[in-house]
A and B are shown apart, each in its own frame.
Chain A
Amino acid sequence: MSLQIERRAEPSSLMRVAAPLIATLLTLVVSSIMFALIGHNPLDTLFAFFVAPLLSMNGLSEWLLKASPLILIACGLAIGFRANVWNIGAEGQLVVGAIAASGVGLFYPDPESPLLLPLMFLAGMAGGMAWAAVPAFLRARMNTNEILVTLMMTYIATLLLSLLVHGPWRDPDGFNYPQTALLPNAAMFSYFDATYRLNTSIFITVIAVVAMWFFTERSFFGYKMSVGGAAPLAARYAGFKESGSVWLGLLISGGVAGIAGMAEASGPLGQLSAQISPGYGFAAIIVAFIGRLNAFGIVLGGLLLSLLYLGGEAVQLSMGLPSAVTSIFQGMLLFFLLASDFLIFYRIGRPVAAQGGT
């Protein structure tokens, strides 16, 4: 006997709202059992995971600081994803953006210049775009699979970074360790309050969210791209060119990822080293899908994923839970979220007899 997956004729609109709640509930139930099994009070653990990290100003600042690049990158990616342009390589575009921006920050002749930060912003964006332009060209001209190309470009970006910090950009006073000198002060975003790490680059994310909402919901081009993604044949019939979507989807997502890389370099990092991204480019793909490719959904998704990171650290620190347990918990939540999403659109049932099951 076998099971088969079939598309639902009409996804239930009630379930579309209820699914995330059900997923959360399932996560809470299953994780409570897990916490209880390893000898921790489930309520205390959940409190330490989700609430305690946000009870201080520092916690809130860290929450937004970590969510900001995730949301920023996911906004760019979602525009492409809506048009079936699969940029999996935001991580690489982020790295190249950080490299380009830091290059300006380190070698611009006047390190005090107020122009430094805007120039770095442009350099970061251009770097990310340039990295995404390669797969865009290959897809638009030669129909190369952009999933593979963007992913492989990520490895090249990481190696390029490694080459620079081990070689020509290495801090001359740094005992040959693989990191650059610190960026000058004019190259850094300013803090809201010197006690906390949150910096003014958060405004870039806010603007990006609004812009993304406007582009996808209110602009004609955004509409064209969505149609191209949902119904390619209809779009072609209406005279919408696919290559335009490919270029735009990749350049926007690449440029935005590059800006996120610049904001990391000019924010929490302050220098380049061989490892600069905690996987933001990949995590943002999850954020984009949790947020259902919608601007405000992405904000919630980014905040959730960021809280999962902070909560995972918090329960390690306060309750001594091993990091593996927190990874399981994070995986469980994402699994239930994505699975319930899937079940909105598909159902699993027995095959109809006429089709002949074995």
Chain B
Amino acid sequence: MIKSTRRDFLKYSAAAGAALGTAGLSNLALADEVLKVGAVYVSPISEIGWTKQHSLGVDAIKAAMGNKVEVTTIDSIFKPQDAERVFREMASNGNKLIFGTSFSHGTPMQKVAPRFPKVAFEHCSGIRHMKNLGTFEAKYFEGTYVAGVAAGHMSKSAKIGFIGGFPIPDIVGPANALLLGAQSVNPDMTCSVIFLNSWFDPGKEKEAANTLISQGCDIICSMTDTATGVQVAGEKGAWSIGYASDMAKFGNGKHLTAFTLDWSSVYVSAAKAVAAGTWKTSERWQGLADGVVTMSPLNSALPADAVAQVTKAQKDIVAGTLHPFAGEIKDQAGKVRAAAGATLSTGDIRGINWFVNGVVGKLG
């Protein structure tokens, strides 16, 4: 069977060579007009979630540039070995701008980028940038802080349950800020944390949500790639906080709010800059003020004073007068990490590997 494939291979290769040759020419002819953009997704595009929001960013490029752009996407690329192959393939197929959308795409992109100096690479959640590799990331913690304020008002047991994919700073920071937001309303709030070690494992996530609820948590926030946490909370009568997309329709009326991600501005500005020849590598970390993080409509069950306080927190963060990680902040051991009047530095937040006082659980 392999033999017949090989024979076919020999037979077709001449024809294919000719076909590729002409295709290459036509690409050259169009090179001035059509920008080829590639995007690599970590999971399949579903109705909601991380990859869905990235696909909306790609759609925004299509909407903004119409027939001036040709987009190629591939999903379910998670392991670094596979990612490097796909990035090479995309770069050698004439894509001039390539997006990687997972932390695990980082090392592969760092290896591929120097080989294709004329291709612009953009890495979401990346930490190292190069001459032709830019990084962008959202300040999730601003969204969780605002959601935490709502949680502080609505929780009767004063216990939040948080489910995270992996114990990385991009999840640990938001979990901390969620609790800090809640504590700004009710200083007795605590937050129990469970990590799944997977972005997509609905079975495990369901178990985790059930465990947290049975421990008395009446607010569930889940930073994974599914709506499972929101669903389980809705079934059990607990409040929920959605992530990445508005998950209200999964929440059985108990969806408090969601901190959603809108990458359109990042995708479109990168594509336009590459098309205009002005793209430069940069490191972007954007939040509520830039519209990359947005809050979905609040649940109508929130009393007026809660709505006012949530809205004020959001406005103050946008205005820069409120910082979720403003001191005094103590860690689980009671050690002061940010003194009163001080704020955690950007580097400290991006590399955060400790929980604030009141978090129940361990890293990893």
Contacts and interface: CB of A to CB of B under 8 A. Distances in A.
Interface residues of B, number: 48
Interface in A308-330: 309-310, 313, 316-317, 320, 322-324
A310 B89 CA distance: 11
B169 A304 contact: no
A291 to B, nearest CB: 11
A80 interface: no
Contact of B107 (A54, A179, A303, A313): A179
A317 B72 contact: yes
Given A20-B1, A268-B84, A54 B75 contact: no
A220 B347 CA distance: 63
A186 interface: no
Nearest to B86: A313
B336 interface: no
Contacts of A313: 74, 77, 82, 85-86, 89
A162 B107 CA distance: 18
B93 interface: yes
Interface in B1-55: 1-2, 4-5, 8-9, 12-13, 16-17, 20, 44
Interface stretch (A2-10, A209-217, A270-278): A270-278
A51 B104 contact: no
Interface string A134-170: 0000000000000000000000000000110011000
Contacts of B352: 176
A197 B84 contact: yes
B158 to A, nearest CB: 29
Contacts of A182: 107
B167 interface: yes
A270 B80 CA distance: 10
Size band of the A side of the interface? 35 or more
A309 B363 CA distance: 34
Contacts of B168: 176-178
A303 B93 CA distance: 24
* Interface of B, helix, strand, loop or mixed by DSSP: helix
B190 to A, nearest CB: 23
Interface in A54-108: 54-55, 58, 62, 66
A270 B166 contact: no
Interface in A14-45: 20-21, 23-24
B56 to A, nearest CB: 17
B364 A51 contact: no
B90 interface: yes
A270 B84 CA distance: 12
B116 to A, nearest CB: 11
19 contacts: A23-B1, A51-B16, A52-B16, A58-B92, A163-B364, A166-B363, A167-B364, A176-B352, A182-B107, A268-B81, A268-B84, A271-B107, A274-B166, A278-B79, A303-B2, A313-B77, A313-B82, A317-B74, A324-B44
Given A58-B92, A175-B127, A268-B80, 18 more contacts: A24-B1, A51-B12, A162-B197, A176-B169, A177-B168, A177-B169, A178-B167, A197-B84, A197-B85, A270-B107, A273-B80, A275-B79, A276-B80, A277-B79, A316-B74, A320-B72, A320-B73, A323-B75
